[in-house]
Amino acid sequence: MILVRFDRDSGRFDDEEFNKFCSNNNIVRIEKEFINTGGEIYYSFFIEYHPKKPVQSKPDLESLSELARAQYEKLRDWRNELAANEGIPAYILMYNSQLYDIVKKQPRSKADFAAIKGMKNKAEKFGEEIIKILQETELEQQE
């Protein structure tokens, strides 16, 4: 429930917080009631809502070392090729943000890989291959 007060000085309802709340949530239903009590004027809003899901931000590739950037690119190429062969969008296999997390955390075992957010169910299928890509890229960079 949100109360929105009428500001007599400005001649407007003080609805900034209400509007912000509505834009930051998925509104299912609103019931409003006009209230005039002792000369104070309000709208009361009963709001049924669902929080909006946070938008995935793009990975900050600039923050990666040269090696990590090379590993990220190799993983992305591997994922894109695998997705193309399976006829599915690449993000179904792994998001770019997940590839970024893999590169940042540098897993050395399937257990390390499974501990990365969203990778638990993918560890058995992709863990060894991804760890191998990380290690091969590291060796290539050392040459």
128 and 68 in a common domain: yes
Task: Examine residue 101 and state whether it is found in any structural domain, yes or no.
Answer: yes
Q: Return averaged pLDDT per consecutive 10 residues of the chain, 143 residues in all.
A: 89 89 90 90 91 71 88 95 92 91 93 91 91 93 79
Q: What is the pTM of this model?
A: 0.59
Q: Residue 83's domain spans which residues?
A: 61-142
Cβ atoms 95, 56 nearer than 8 A: yes
Query: Which backbone phi and psi does 35 adopt, to 5 degrees?
Result: -130, 130
For residue 70, tell me if it sits in a domain: yes
Q: Is residue 56 part of a domain?
A: no
Do residues 131 and 113 touch, judged by C-beta distance below 8 A? yes
Kindly report the CATH number assigned to the domain that includes residue 75: 1.10.150.80
Same domain, 42 and 71: no
Total of domains in the chain: 2
| Helix extents (H) in 11-122 | 16-23, 66-86, 90-93, 96-105, 110-114
Whole-number Å distance between alpha carbons of 49 and 14: 21
Whether 67 and 44 map to the same domain: the answer is no
